[in-house]
Chain A
Amino acid sequence: MIALRSETLSIQSSADVVLVRQAVRQLAIELGFSLVEQTKIVTAASELARNTLDYGKGGTVQLEGLQEERRKGLRLTFIDQGPGIPDIELALKDGYTTGNGLGMGLSGAKRLVSEFKIDSTVGLGTCITATKWK
C-alpha cells in the first residue's frame, strides 16, 4: 500500500470540524470517488471529528490518499488525548450516548466506511481509523 498524499489537521473548535469536512471532500474528489461515496466519507468524517472535539477534548486528524494495487482509498486517523472509551462495544451501539447527541455518531460512521478500527486506553486517549476504498 502506498500513501499518495497525507495531511494533518487540528480539531479544536466546531469551525475546525467544517474545515475537516472540506479537506476530506477535496481529497475524495481528487481520488475520483463518486458523489455518493464522497458524501458518505465526508459525513463519517464529520461525525468522527465532532467525537474527537466533544469527547476527546480536541485532537488531530490525518488524511491519507492510498493506492493498493489497482484500488484507491482514503484513510482518516483521528487521535485525541482525551479520557478514552472504557467500553468500545457499548460506544458502538446504535443510540448509546454519554453526551447529548443521538448516539449515532460512531456506529453510523462505521457503517459509512469500508474499514473501521478504534484503539482506546482510558486516561490516555483514543485513536480511530476509518478507511473508504473506491
Chain B
Amino acid sequence: MNLFDPQLLDRCISCGFCLPACPTYALTGDEGSSPRGRITLMRALDTGVLDVDDPRVREEASFCLGCRACEPVCPAGVQYGQLLETWRDLEWAGRDRPLVARLLTTVTAVTPLLRLLGLVRRPARGAGPPDRSLMLGCVERGLFPGVSRAVRRLLPGIAVPPAQGCCGALHAHNGDSQRGEELAHRLGEQLPGVVVTTSGGCAAHLATVLGRERVQELSEHLVATGTTPVGEVRVGGRRARVALQDSCHLRNGLGVAAQPRALVAAVADLVPVPGEATCCGAAGTYSLLRPGDSRRILDPKLDAVEAAGVDYVVTVNPGCLRQLDQGLRRRRSRVRAVHLADLLLDAAGGRALPRPRRRALRAGRG
C-alpha cells in the first residue's frame, strides 16, 4: 500500500542491534515496544495485515518516545524518526490526535494567540548583522524567558526578529508533519542567516526542513564560532560539579554531543553520569500525554544524578529542563536543573544561578 516511504521502511533488516538502545524496550522487554518491533508493526500496516485502529499499533505509536536513540546505533542507517512522523500522521489524523497535543499545537502555531496568553514578550530589537538570528522557541519563551535573554548577552549583536512563529516540531511529532513543515518554512523566512536555537528538539526539526547548514544549536554555534566561555561557576567556594543531560534530538538527530560537554567542562567540573545520553522522558509532549511512563523513564536518571553528587544538571532543551526541574523539585533534591545558556552566563559573571538547595528531607522522593 506504500503508506510509508518504501526507501525508508526497506532499510531495516531486523538485525535487532537497536534493541539495547531503546528506553521503552528496556521498560517492557517486549519486541512490540522496540524499534525493530515498531518497524514490523509499520510493515504490517503497510501490507494491510494490521490497520491503524489496531489497539497495539495505536498504543505503540504513542508509547514510543521519539527519542531516536535507535538511529545512531543502527548500522543499516534506518531513519526511524522520519518513519515515526509518518506513522503518527496515520494514527493521529484529524480528530484522533490526542487533545493535549491538539491544544498545544494550535496554540503554538498562532503567534498573536501566544501573545494574548502572555507567553511571548516583545523582544528588544536586535541591532546585529543578519548573518545569524536567535530563535525564541514557543515553549521556552513562555516557561524560561531568561534563556534567550542569556543568549543575547552571550552573543551580543545576534539578530532577534520580534515576529517569530512556531518551528512546527510539536506538529511534526504529533501527527501533523505537513503543518510542521509549513511552519518551519515560514519561520525560516522570518529568521535571517544561520538560525541559532536553544532547543535540541527545534534544532533537529528545523534542520530536517531548512537544511542542516542553516541551523545551529547554541553549543554548536558557540564552538563553531570559537566563542569560548569565560570565568567559572562556583558553589560554596569551589568549582561547581555539573552533569549534562543530552537532548535526544540534538544527540541522535544532529549528532551534537561533544560541544555542550566541552562548554560545561570549560566553566565547571563536568561529572559523567550513567544514562546521561538517554531520554529523560520529556520527549516533546510525551510527559503531558503519558505522565506515568514519562516518570518511569525519568526516575532512574534522577537517581543517577543524585548519586553522582553534582550541584547542577545542565540541559540544552526547554522540555528536558522542565522535566528535570520538576522531577528534582518533586524529590526535594538539592540538585538544580539549569539551561546551558544560564550556566555560561553565570560563569561570565552575568547573573548568579540559583544555589543548589540544602537537602531537607529524603522522604519526599520518587
A in complex with B: no
Residues of B within 8 A of A (CB): none
